[in-house]
Structure formats: structure tokens, C-alpha cells
Copies of this chain bind each other. A is one copy, B any other.
Amino acid sequence: MKFEVTAQDANARRGRLTTRRGVIETPVFMPVGTAGTVKGVDPKELAESGYGIVLGNTYHLMLRPGVEVVAAHGGLHGFMGWEGSILTDSGGYQVFSLAPLRKLTDDGVIFQSHIDGSRYELTPEKAVEIQEALGADIMMVLDECPPHDAGESHHREACRRTTRWAERCLEARTGAGGALFGIVQGGVSRDLRLEHLETIAEMPFEGLALGGLSVGEGPQRMAEIVSAVGPQMPSTRPRYLMGVGLPQDIIRAVSGGMDMFDCVVPTRNARNGQLFTRDGPIQIRHAAHTKDTNPVEPGCTCPACTRFSRAYLRHLYLSNEILGARLNTLHNLHFYARLLEDIRRAIDSGGYAAWASRTLQRLEGQVISKKV
């Protein structure tokens, strides 16, 4: 993996990430392909929407269909029919948020599947082994992600454990796999974050991530941490803000120097009928759209806007039709792809701060719920 910063505008930066699968312009947004599919769309449509990298969830894939099934297809690319790059998480975050029972030790974590209750173990070594078997182009270290409101000592302990696990992940890689990114924890404590960053930054990771944000601490506190920590992250390596986020979160994080993002918001909200537009999001189920023959957003070049009306999408939503979820998802993914294009263009032109301020002002009045 190669990474070069191609332009800088205050702390915001443009970059070019080259994986073994292709070239990705940053800042970049990665749609989430939880169970080996970005929900609602065909991988061809992802590429057509301008995406070059997606995220795969190790936790979900190890539980179902199981790593050996994916490996029988030569990895996740072959399994899900995606030729672009894939970043996989380590599974740790989902173990902490989804598994009904878990036992955490310094060695790793033993947990029950939320699907059938069967027992699994995830250690740093196992996390790397699985991600290599999945054929990830970028792998993430196993980390401990405490609840945002865990106490200082819990967060400090999670940093210590994450550091130890990071070392073991580095030792575990065979070299045959993709790049490996380290993760910085530390909750919403600026000092703890910077301290942990210093430790992780010294290790030979190809990229660094901020984990444990966008987990309930609120957009303001998240923005504070990102603006304090982001610019201190090593400038020569990509900086990945995990699990973020809404358009305004991404815009702010780019101001803080972050390069990579992933989130279920565009896809999940689409399935729940929330469609992003430049003038703020709309709820397609609202009665106002009943007879509206206009597209969701005039000028949008997505398959939904170029061929179907708000009234039709509302009808599909109310009728619980598959095509509705699909068209809504394509629209939101187009919106995010265009947002990131706009961000990159603004940095290239050296006017990011002004662009961000204008755009945030327009978005700020809008109520966008992460969980619709």
C-alpha cells in the first residue's frame, strides 16, 4: 500500500491511496458491506456510483457464512463479486456491541454469536488470520472499544490492552495479507487520546485510525477530539475515522485532517426512507410527496432521480417493495459520493474552510437523525 498527500489546505488534506486493487482519492467514504453485500445494491452499482473501496465486517462474516466459505471463493472479493478495494474491521467493535455474552481477557475475547448463540474466540492473532483469509486489502488491529461513558480508568485500561493487541497483530501478519492499520482509543479524553496516539504512531502501521468515536458521545465532543487529535496524527500515513458519519461530521473531520470514513448512515437511512439532498434530508413517506412527480433531487444523476418520482419512491416505501430500498440506497450513496467529490475539490482549490463553513451552515439547521 502506498499513500501520498497531494494537497494541503490548513489541516484538511487531499491524498492518494494505492492498494493492490487500485487507486483511491482521499478524503474517501467507504460504504459498509456488513454481510458480504452493501445492503440493497449490486457491487456493479457501487462502482458506477464512483466507489473504489468498501468495508467488510469480520464479525458478521466469521459468524455467517464462516471464513472458510469466503476463503473457498478466494476471499471476499470473489465471494461478493467486488473488484475494488476492501477494508475489513477486526470484529472487535461488533463483539462489544452485538454479542449477547462475552468474556474479555488480555488474551482476547470469547463471545457468543448473536445469530445462534454458538461460541467464538477472537484474539489479535485470530483477527489478523481471518482478515488475511478474507483477502482484505486493508486490515484493522483488534482493539477494545469501551462505551463512551466508561470511566477514565476503563478507557486507560482499554488503551493499554489495545496497544498490546496492536503489537501482537503486527507480529501475527504473514506478509501475504494487505496493509494493517493501528487504532487509537481513549474515549473523549484529549490527553488520553494524544498519549495513546503517541504509542500507536511509533508502531509500523501503514495507517492509523481513531476508534471509539461516534458511539454516543455526541457530534460536538467527537468534533473536539478529532480537531485536537487528527492534526497530530502522522502526516505521511492515512488517517481513518471509524464509523463516521453524517455529512456534517465528515466535513468537520476533514477540517481536522482525517482522510477516510465509513458509516451505515447512507444505506441504513435509505432503507428507512430518509433521503439526503443538498437542501437537507427528506422523509420519503411524508404525505407531501404523495403526488409529487419531481425527482428526489433535481439534477442528481443517480438511477432513482433520473428515472423515478418522489411519488413512486413513496409508494414503493409504503408498499415495502425491494426496489424502493434499492433506489433509495443508490440515491444516498450517490449523495455521499458527490459530497466527497465536493470536499476533494474544495481542498484542491484551497478554499476548504470557506466551503465547509457555507455547507455546514446550510446543513446545521437540518435535523438528521443517525438512527431513523
Contact = CB atoms under 8 A, between A and B. Distances in A.
Interface residues of A, number: 35
Nearest to A329: B322
Interface string A23-54: 00000000000011101111000000000000
Given A73-B293, A316-B37, A79 B325 contact: no
Contacts of A326: 42, 322, 326
A29 to B, nearest CB: 20
Nearest to A60: B319
B68 A291 contact: yes
A42 B325 CA distance: 12
A52 B301 CA distance: 26
A321 interface: yes
A300 to B, nearest CB: 15
A73 B42 CA distance: 28
Contact of A65 (B65, B72, B303, B315): B315
Nearest to A308: B81
A312 B80 contact: yes
A39 B72 contact: no
Top 8 A-B residue pairs of the complex, sorted by shortest distance between their CB atoms:
A65-B315, A35-B319, A40-B322, A37-B323, A81-B307, A72-B291, A37-B321, A69-B291
27 contacts: A35-B315, A35-B321, A36-B315, A36-B319, A37-B316, A39-B321, A39-B322, A40-B322, A41-B323, A42-B303, A42-B326, A64-B315, A64-B318, A65-B290, A65-B311, A65-B318, A69-B291, A69-B311, A69-B315, A73-B293, A73-B309, A73-B311, A73-B312, A79-B312, A81-B307, A81-B308, A322-B322
